[in-house]
Amino acid sequence: MPEPQVIIITGASRGIGHAIATHLLKAGHKVVLTARSPEKLEELQKEYPSQVQYLAADMTLPDTPYKLKELALLHFHHINAVIINHGALSPMTRVANSSIDDWKALFDANFFSALALAKETIPYLRETKGRLIFTSSGAATGAYTAWGAYGTSKAALNHLSKHIAVEEPDITSVAVSPGRVDTDMQKELREKGKAEMAPKDHEAFSKEFEAGTLVRPEQSGGVIANLAVSAKPELAGQYFKWNAPELAEYQLS
Which residues, at least 6 apart from 8, have a Cβ–Cβ distance to it below 8 Å? 31, 32, 33, 34, 68, 69, 72, 79, 81, 82, 83, 117, 121
Q: What percent of the chain has pLDDT over 90?
A: 79
Out of 92-101, 185-194, 204-213, the most confident range is 92-101
Residue 11 and residue 83: Cα distance in Å, rounded?
9
Min mean pLDDT across 12-16, 137-141, 188-192 is at 188-192
Closest by Cα among 139, 120, 11 to 67? 120
Residues belonging to the active site: 136, 150, 154
pLDDT interval class at 215 (50, 70, 90): confident
In this predicted structure, the answer to whether residue 152 has a pLDDT above a threshold of 80 is: yes
The mean of the pLDDT values for the chain is: 93
In this predicted structure, the answer to whether residue 200 has a pLDDT above a threshold of 70 is: yes
Sign of the Cα pseudo-torsion (165, 166, 169, 170, in order): negative
Which of 118-124's residues contact partners 24+ apart within 8 Å by CB, and which partners? 118/82, 118/84, 118/160, 118/164, 119/65, 120/65, 120/66, 120/68, 120/69, 121/8, 121/65, 121/69, 121/79, 121/82, 122/164, 122/168, 122/171, 124/69, 124/72, 124/73, 124/78, 124/79
Tally of CB atoms within 10 A around 91: 21
54 with 28: CB under 8 angstroms? no
pLDDT interval class at 212 (50, 70, 90): confident
Judged on CB neighbours under 10 Å (0-12, 13-18, 19+), 167 is exposed
In this predicted structure, the answer to whether residue 188 has a pLDDT above a threshold of 90 is: no
Domains in the chain, start-ordered, CATH in brackets? Answer: 4-179+216-248 (3.40.50.720)
**Residues 227-247: pLDDT tens digits?**
999 999 999 999 999 999 999
In this predicted structure, the answer to whether residue 1 has a pLDDT above a threshold of 60 is: no
Residue 135 and residue 220: Cα distance in Å, rounded?
10
Which residues, at least 6 apart from 206, have a Cβ–Cβ distance to it below 8 Å? 190
Min mean pLDDT across 64-78, 101-115, 212-226 is at 212-226
In this predicted structure, the answer to whether residue 71 has a pLDDT above a threshold of 80 is: yes
**Residues 116-135: pLDDT tens digits?**
999 999 999 999 999 999 99
Q: What's the whole-number mean pLDDT along residues 98-104?
A: 96
Q: What's the whole-number mean pLDDT along residues 5-25?
A: 96
Angle, alpha carbons 49-13-232 (nearest 5°):
80
Q: Per this entry, what is the length of the chain? A: 253
In this predicted structure, the answer to whether residue 184 has a pLDDT above a threshold of 60 is: yes
